[in-house]
């Protein structure tokens, strides 16, 4: 039995009875919200509107819409992992109004046709799909993709996927060239000659008999990225930060004004490398899960503003490719539907940061990275809202999830908060 998602499009939407929460504008009140043609038109108590689609949101909280900076879908090429539709449904269940989709598809999203096709597939969905274009043609790391063409076709940024750019010259070229189009460059920074382990290099890798990837691979990659962004005076967004040292490098870079932003995944905020010991492939991530001291540094960085966003890093896989020898399983996990609940548990329930800060990391932060203004509750603003249930007990069950991906490290785990849906312009989606 899977989660039901009610999606609809309405010219006039009336949100009734919810708590409206927007720390940026100091808003925290129980009020109704009227949306017409995708724009917020009125806010106030006991609003009435003729011919409006009414959403009864008693007991729920409406916040600025969530944006995810890193999602991999399977379509085109690996629809058995995730289709555009299943991925966007999962994103809706995760409360996202928009998701950035990595170009890792077959064919690779490195030409206008691929962007157009992806956008067309997502057109009728409540969740906005923001395609990321490949940095190099075919993600081969050889020559730059036609970034101008990709920009005109509507990509939200550029990204080389899990492979990342190979070395300083490639990253420098990409930074320098992509700057012309005013779109962000996303990079998973690693020193490739030191990277490539199954798990974090440490006692866990040793006990498992597996090749480990040292922290150093990430630290040097982040260092190089920061220095190049500084040198080229270009903006760079570093994804999936996972080590103590790279957090420190970012802190220093920020303080001298380098235009570098960064995110991390909820998995790295909640789990450590000991989680790998039972050879469960859903905890085999890129970058690998790290020791507790790195997790602590990451929690602090997220709370203290060194990191800008939390991205789900959703990488769905299907059953058969996981049902095999550990080193042959694909990296990553399905995480769209658990991202907020996991991050809330790791950060808010544990007392590390406020709900306000967490919401920023899911909305204002990623929007800033993409060059978008923060979502607003004022009349005249486009309606981009996430609906949250901040007081519920639920348990993640893959069988009930909307993603096709079966690789969740959270199977059977219980949480206290859960997104209930979203409003995105004329569209809305609510979990049944």
Cα–Cα distance measured from residue 60 to residue 248, given in angstroms and rounded to the nearest whole number: 38
CB of 244 to other proteins, least distance (A): 16
Q: Which is nearer to other proteins, 326 or 394 (CB)?
A: 326
Q: Which is nearer to other proteins, 58 or 320 (CB)?
A: 320
CA 324, 327, 329, 331: dihedral to nearest 10 degrees?
160
First-to-last CA distance in the chain?
Answer: 12
CB of 215 to other proteins, least distance (A): 11
CB of 320 to other proteins, least distance (A): 7
CB of 206 to other proteins, least distance (A): 5
Q: Which is nearer to other proteins, 209 or 351 (CB)?
A: 209
Maximum C-alpha span of the chain: 66
Residue 421, helix vs strand vs coil: strand
Residues 428/53, Cβ–Cβ less than 8 Å: yes
Pair of tokens at residue 174: 């990409």
CB of 211 to other proteins, least distance (A): 8
* Inter-CA distances, 378 with 40, 103, 422, Å: 7, 35, 17
Handedness of CA 39, 130, 172, 194 (dihedral sign): positive
Pair of tokens at residue 377: 């509750």
Residue 304 φ/ψ, nearest 5 degrees:
-90, 0
Which H or E run contains 68?
Answer: strand 66-71
Residue found under tokens 């100091």: 26
Residues 3/402, Cβ–Cβ less than 8 Å: yes
Q: For this structure, is 313 an active site residue?
A: yes
In the set 313, 320, 323, 391, the catalytic residue is 313
CB of 275 to other proteins, least distance (A): 14
Question: Which residues of the chain form contacts with other proteins (CB under 8 A)?
Answer: 201-203, 205-210, 278-279, 320, 323-328
| HSE-up of residue 44 (Cα within 13 Å, Cβ side) | 7
Q: Which residues are catalytic?
A: 313
């Amino acid at each position: 039995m899977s989660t039901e998602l009610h999606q609809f499009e309405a010219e006039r939407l009336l949100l009734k009875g919810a708590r409206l929460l927007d720390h940026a504008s100091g808003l925290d009140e129980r009020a109704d919200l009227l949306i017409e043609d995708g724009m917020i038109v009125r806010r106030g108590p006991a609003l009435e509107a003729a011919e409006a689609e009414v959403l009864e949101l008693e007991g729920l909280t409406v916040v600025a819409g969530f944006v995810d900076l890193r999602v991999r879908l399977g379509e085109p090429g690996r629809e058995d992992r995730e289709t555009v539709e299943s991925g966007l449904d999962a994103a809706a269940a995760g409360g996202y109004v928009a998701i950035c989709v990595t170009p890792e598809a077959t064919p690779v999203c490195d030409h206008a046709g691929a962007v157009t096709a992806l956008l067309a597939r997502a057109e009728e969905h409540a969740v906005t799909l923001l395609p990321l274009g490949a940095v190099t043609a075919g993600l081969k790391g050889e020559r730059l993709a036609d970034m101008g063409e990709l920009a005109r076709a509507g990509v939200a940024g550029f990204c080389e996927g899990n492979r990342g750019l190979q070395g300083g010259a490639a990253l420098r070229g990409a930074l320098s060239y992509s700057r012309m189009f005013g779109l962000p460059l996303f990079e998973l920074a690693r020193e490739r000659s030191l990277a490539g382990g199954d798990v974090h290099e440490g006692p866990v890798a040793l006990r498992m008999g597996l090749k480990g990837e040292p922290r150093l691979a990430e630290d040097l990659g982040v260092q190089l990225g920061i220095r190049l962004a500084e040198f080229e005076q270009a903006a760079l967004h570093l994804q999936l930060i996972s080590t103590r040292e790279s957090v420190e490098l970012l802190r220093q870079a920020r303080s001298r004004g380098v235009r570098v932003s960064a995110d991390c995944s909820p998995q790295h905020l909640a789990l450590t490398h000991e989680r790998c010991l039972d050879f469960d492939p859903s905890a085999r991530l890129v970058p690998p899960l790290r020791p507790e001291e790195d997790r602590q540094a990451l929690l602090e960085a997220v709370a203290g503003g060194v990191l800008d966003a939390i991205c789900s890093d959703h990488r769905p896989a299907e059953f058969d490719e996981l049902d095999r020898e550990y080193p042959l399983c694909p990296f990553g996990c399905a995480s769209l539907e658990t991202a907020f609940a996991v991050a809330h548990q790791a950060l808010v329930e544990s007392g590390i940061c406020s709900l306000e800060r967490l919401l920023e990391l899911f909305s204002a932060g990623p929007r800033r990275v993409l060059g978008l203004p923060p979502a607003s509750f004022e009349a005249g603003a486009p309606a981009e809202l996430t609906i949250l249930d901040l007081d519920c007990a639920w348990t993640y069950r893959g069988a009930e999830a909307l993603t096709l991906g079966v690789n969740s490290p959270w199977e059977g785990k219980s949480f206290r908060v859960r997104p209930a849906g979203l409003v995105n312009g004329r569209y809305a989606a609510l979990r049944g």
